[in-house]
A and B are shown apart, each in its own frame.
Chain A
Amino acid sequence: MLRAIESCANTNRWHRHAGPVTLFCAGLMACVLLAPPLAAGPLIGIAAGLAAVAGAGVPGRLFLGAMLVPLGFLLTSALALCVTLGFDHGVTIGLSAAGAATALRAGLRAAGALAVTLCFACTVPAAAWIALLRRAGTPEALLDLLMLVHRTLFVLDETRASMVRALDNRLGFATKRLMLRSAAQAMALLFLRSLDRAARLERGLAARGYVDRLPVLPPDSAASPLGWTLAAGVPMLLGGVAFGLARAIGA
């Protein structure tokens, strides 16, 4: 999933328009957080999904699949909000209407925000948003760290995947008992491997003249005035619609 999202971010139709897309996602996020959630949650959620899938060409299955897991968490916590526990006469458990309303609102808002986040993750490459943060004046040390963590994440994920494949190829996962053992071994190994990787990367950077900074050129951008206009206008429009809709349904 991680790798699928990453490769989508680097290859989608909007991957060279990081600036406008970031503005667009920030606008949508503001709508979700500010407008009444009963209207804004679903509206913005759908808008973000449509933008990603129809606009940027993110595969629909990837988008929905990535939504699924966090939505599961959302649902369970929303259910917990609907339930009240009483301790007056022993322990009593009951459904609460106020709780349900809160849960619905919080759930819709969170789902909308989730879709916006995912839209951003699937359309803006890491190199691009790190470059944006740099332009916004984020401390260099923090950005260098971000870049290394991002890269290391994928190196380790690759190591993990190939380790699991290697164990599997020699029947390490053939039975339940072996599966447990192999998984434990892989985890221990991954820990050692990550230390080794860090040492190797440090050597590699030192050999290339690393002193205390990791300067890189910003990725080239194809952002156009039209892109910027749409990125600013569409969220404003949607925000207006969300407020209107909320008034109409009396939320």
Chain B
Amino acid sequence: MTLLDAIGLRYAWPGTEAAAARAPGQRREALAGASLAVRPGVRLALLGGNGSGKSTLLLHLNGTLRPASGEVRWQGQPIDYSRRGLAALRQAVALVFQDPDDQLFAGTLAQDVSFGPLNLGLDPAEVARRVAAALAAVGLEALGALPPHMLSHGQRKRAAIAGALAMRPAMLVLDEPTAGLDPAGIDILLDHLDALHAQGMTVVFSTHDLLLARHWADEVAVLHQGRVIAHGGAAAVLDDAPVIAAAGLRPRRFADGRRPVSSPSWPGVSRPSTPHRRSADGRDTPGHDELAAPDGAAAAPLRRERPPHG
């Protein structure tokens, strides 16, 4: 039983036909037959290079974009693209955009977060409670009275996420939720998502962070040129070398942790002559070798036990 099914989606952004004709490198379709099945309660990471169609696919999941062909099914039923159908779907599937400025509109953060819950028809007292909880969930409780344009990008991103959290959806769709967040912010967000996931919420998110995908997601889907080329358990997909290489997700640099950083020198930039730092066991520091994780020792889990007061 799946919660949501995207089947053979094709979509071309308006105006891209002309661009594709002129620029040979440009694909005509952002989605060229993408299929994705989302099981209930899963944490699904969507990986793929820039322009592979992640954002476009996510916009289809709550009916914000309508595919040219193919269909999206919610709980087995094709999406009803009428006004009421979409309103109902969006109560269940909340979407956080890649660029927070695409969705922040109100005078203050708290007001912006209140928009979704008020659309659900909740009474103001309950909305106020949800707003406070959602802002706290992203660590913004102190900034609720400020307008979005007085905040940094990462703070806006958090506010946008709070806007979706406040709707308490059955499925949360996040477009690069951790991009632009500081490590502490990622911790706070993941803690909260963990709590929601424990209550049964489904989380679909796109990311370029392979560590996050490996250690936090249950499943990984890989998008390449508008198609899902692999989908399965996180470790299985990420260890599938041909898939990862095809999608351009295997970093050449820093990947095995043993190769020193060497690059052609840029004109006018001289490299410091100090040798690359090595730690006692002969590994480069900082180690990024968790990515490859061939030997168990290096694959430190991303999530560790936090002290009780944390």
Contacts and interface: CB of A to CB of B under 8 A. Distances in A.
Interface of A is mostly: helix
Contacts of B149: 3, 6, 151, 154-155, 157-158
Interface stretch (A78-86, A113-121, A202-210): A202-210
B145 A207 contact: no
A125 interface: yes
Given A200-B99, A208-B163, A217 B127 contact: yes
The 4 closest A-B pairs by CB, nearest first: A127-B107, A204-B103, A216-B111, A154-B149
Nearest to B96: A207
Interface residues of A, number: 38
Contacts of A204: 97, 102-105
Interface string A3-37: 10011001100011000000000000000000000
Given A208-B94, A215-B118, A201 B108 contact: no
B150 A7 contact: yes
A158 B149 CA distance: 8
B154 interface: no
A209 B147 contact: no
14 contacts: A3-B149, A6-B149, A10-B150, A125-B147, A151-B106, A151-B107, A154-B147, A208-B94, A208-B116, A209-B119, A215-B118, A216-B114, A217-B111, A219-B110
Interface string A120-142: 00000111101000000000000
Interface in A147-171: 147-148, 150-151, 154-155, 157-158
A130 B114 CA distance: 15
Given A204-B104, A210-B119, 19 more contacts: A10-B108, A151-B149, A154-B148, A155-B101, A158-B149, A201-B101, A201-B102, A203-B64, A204-B105, A206-B86, A207-B90, A207-B95, A208-B103, A208-B167, A215-B115, A215-B118, A216-B118, A217-B110, A219-B107
B131 interface: yes
A214 interface: yes
Contacts, number: 123
Task: Count chain A CB atoms within 10 A of each CB in B105, B114, B148, B167 and give the residue with the most.
Answer: B105
Interface string A187-222: 000000000010011011111111100111101100
Given A3-B149, A208-B115, A208-B163, A147 B99 contact: no
Contacts of A208: 90, 94-95, 103, 115-116, 119, 163-164, 167
A11 B145 CA distance: 9
Contacts of A216: 106-107, 111-112, 114-115, 118
Contacts of B90: 207-209
B62 interface: yes
Contacts of A207: 59, 62, 64, 90, 95, 97, 103
Contacts of B124: 217
A206 B106 contact: no
Nearest to B119: A209
Contacts of B127: 217
Interface in B120-166: 120, 124, 127-128, 131, 145-150, 163-164
B64 A126 contact: no
Nearest to B64: A207
B181 interface: no
Nearest to A217: B114
Contacts of A210: 119
Contacts of B304: none
Contact of A10 (B105, B111, B145): B145
Task: Count chain B CB atoms within 10 A of each CB in A11, A209, A215, A220 and give the residue with the most.
Answer: A209
Contact of A201 (B103, B128, B146): B103
A22 B127 CA distance: 27
B97 A6 contact: no
Nearest to A150: B107
Task: Count chain B CB atoms within 10 A of each CB in A158, A208, A210 and give the residue with the most.
Answer: A208
A155 B105 CA distance: 10
